[in-house]
A and B are shown apart, each in its own frame.
Chain A
């Protein structure tokens, strides 16, 4: 894992002092709320329905046990004893007091953490593949590249007042576990003629106008990457729309001028920017990469004993193959039946920290599906890990099943929401509580957003649910056929919306149609793509 040097530490320490100064000036009345808002947002501080919400950055979703324990400590000391892991691989706290904020940031800085650029119209926390460093299919570990981008984008003087927020994801596998092409910039690291570089996709996103990012450059060399991204951002900063907040994301610019025109403008800008000498030498990427060297694996390859049937079910569902023989990737579900997707108590966060320290070379990952990963667990330890997780109510064996729901905080917390998301997630999970039934349905990614901003990724759900306000009543639209993976697609609305119970019934009917029509080992989304909407529509509305 990356460790701060004196420069990195000085940057986060200075940020704490700066934000403390800004809060003081705000409280003294030297700044209006309108002037303070973008500053607090660039520190992840939102004013929500009931309180301030603080979003803490977890760069590319990677953290160690010491950092994880700090997250538990903050939940305990400054919040209501829990935190919410987000689709951006961050954590947010829902009940924060403005006057505590600088102290929280100061505590975070002691463990090399911060809330820098977790909101605002700037380059946000860089996201990545939660299996980075452990996945058998990666061409390289994407995290050193993500760290390079973290540093480049931190306090970027030119790109902190962009038309709108800007999200970058980096992956290095053909299997996309990070919804890469639904980001403003998606980078897929590839090897070409022995050299590593990035395939660059620009202009994806969800929100009210979902778009899949087109490829803008098939290969950008490592030591050209920052210049190239700088060119991508400069074209956007100059020409992205600022007249309408709903049309301000880069996807709209690219949609309006076309990918070819955008590509040409970026190429011209890059030819100029490349002369400025802003690219770090490859030695900097190498310096960062050294922190991500593989851990000291044990040679023993001991298969776990599958005698305990519950353990065996968890193994089959939540444990994934590792690139190192004798090791496995453990997924910890934060989706207990009837629970709030992504929430964890301080006790649970501490348990996960302890397990990481003892069994996973001190590392954890946060996934965009709002779960936690222990990336390096020896197979012989899997049973012990499972027992400890079960003790902490963290052993739900539902990874990628219908109850592994992504949901935004919705109208229970969020000031932008039109409808509640959490109760719908809870009702669906409860309806499908029977694990045999869930397993029979197989991989089924269900995602719920409480408004058109799509924080719950409903466009990318095999089944997506969008909460809207219909004349003062919560109404839920269903979409089918979306995907955030390498088979990326945007779901389509199937017809008129439903009330809360109606949408649960409609989801259930859809699963029945799938069961009746599926062929071979087709997933729900495969069957839907093959047979089309009609049979589903008939069952649901007929």
Chain B
């Protein structure tokens, strides 16, 4: 269930299909990536996707962070959802990598999530969000 969503458009109702199923038939508009899947396989189809769900079976498995950035760097504008073992202290990094909705398996305390997202005013490095890296602030 989507617990946190940082977009204003309508939630996609269509259930997401696996990457293999999508590449086979492909009129779906929602797809789900497992950690093993190559996010770049979706790049030719990004225009017609409204939801990409990235699975985090274990929070320690960080492949989904790269998948998210690859999709955003390729211009994907639709909903990018982190689903699975998503915890309070990973959400800020996930936001920076381009995720804008979260479906944690175990419900999270919204206050703790809000605090976790508010700890840092700046970031040292550019990523998939709109945060201006500190080096750029220094040099204008």
Residues on A with C-beta less than 8 A from B133 are 278, 280
- Are B122 and A158 within 8 A (Cβ)? no
Q: Which residue of B lies closest to A150 (CB)?
A: B124
CB of B48 within 8 Å of the partner chain: no
- Are B63 and A237 within 8 A (Cβ)? yes
- Are B66 and A155 within 8 A (Cβ)? no
Q: Which residue of B lies closest to A154 (CB)?
A: B124
What distance in Å separates the Cβ of B136 from its nearest Cβ neighbour in chain A? 8
Q: Determine the distance from Cα of A25 to Cα of B111 in the docked complex, in whole angstroms.
A: 12
A7-B138 contact, Cβ under 8 Å, with A158-B97, A161-B61: yes
CB of A191 within 8 Å of the partner chain: no
Q: Determine the distance from Cα of A163 to Cα of B115 in the docked complex, in whole angstroms.
A: 28
Pick from B59, B73, B135, B137: contact of A276, CB below 8 A: B73
CB of B87 within 8 Å of the partner chain: yes
Residue pairs across A and B with Cβ atoms less than 8 A apart, 23 shown, are A7-B134, A11-B124, A30-B109, A31-B87, A35-B59, A35-B87, A38-B60, A151-B125, A155-B93, A157-B65, A157-B93, A157-B127, A161-B62, A234-B69, A237-B62, A238-B63, A238-B66, A238-B67, A276-B73, A278-B133, A280-B135, A280-B136, A280-B139
Q: Determine the distance from Cα of A284 to Cα of B121 in the docked complex, in whole angstroms.
A: 20
Q: Which residue of A lies closest to B61 (CB)?
A: A242
Number of interface residues of A (CB under 8 A): 44
CB of B96 within 8 Å of the partner chain: yes
Number of interface residues of B (CB under 8 A): 40
Q: Which residue of B lies closest to A240 (CB)?
A: B63
What distance in Å separates the Cβ of A57 from its nearest Cβ neighbour in chain B? 15
Q: Determine the distance from Cα of A504 to Cα of B94 in the docked complex, in whole angstroms.
A: 52
Residues on A with C-beta less than 8 A from B60 are 38, 121, 161
Residues on A with C-beta less than 8 A from B87 are 31, 35
Where chain A touches its partner, the secondary structure class is: helix
Proximity string of chain A (42-85) to chain B, C-beta cutoff 8 Å, 1 when within and 0 when not: 00000000000000000000000000000000000000000000
**CB contacts between A and B, total, < 8 Å:** 111
What distance in Å separates the Cβ of A368 from its nearest Cβ neighbour in chain B? 25
- Are B123 and A276 within 8 A (Cβ)? no
Q: Determine the distance from Cα of A371 to Cα of B62 in the docked complex, in whole angstroms.
A: 36
**Could you say which of A14-22, A331-339, A384-392, A467-475 contacts chain B?**
A14-22
Q: Determine the distance from Cα of A115 to Cα of B136 in the docked complex, in whole angstroms.
A: 25
- Are A14 and B93 within 8 A (Cβ)? no
Q: Point out residues on A near B: beta carbons under 8 Å.
A: 5, 7-8, 10-11, 14-15, 17-18, 21-22, 25, 30-31, 35, 38-39, 121, 151-152, 154-163, 226, 234, 237-238, 242, 272, 276-278, 280-281, 283-284, 287
- Are B122 and A11 within 8 A (Cβ)? yes
- Are A10 and B122 within 8 A (Cβ)? yes
A281-B139 contact, Cβ under 8 Å, with A161-B59, A238-B66: yes
Q: Which residue of B lies closest to A18 (CB)?
A: B119
Q: Determine the distance from Cα of A152 to Cα of B35 in the docked complex, in whole angstroms.
A: 25
Give the top 8 A-B pairs by smallest Cβ distance, nearest first: A161-B62, A157-B96, A280-B135, A157-B93, A278-B126, A18-B119, A151-B124, A7-B134
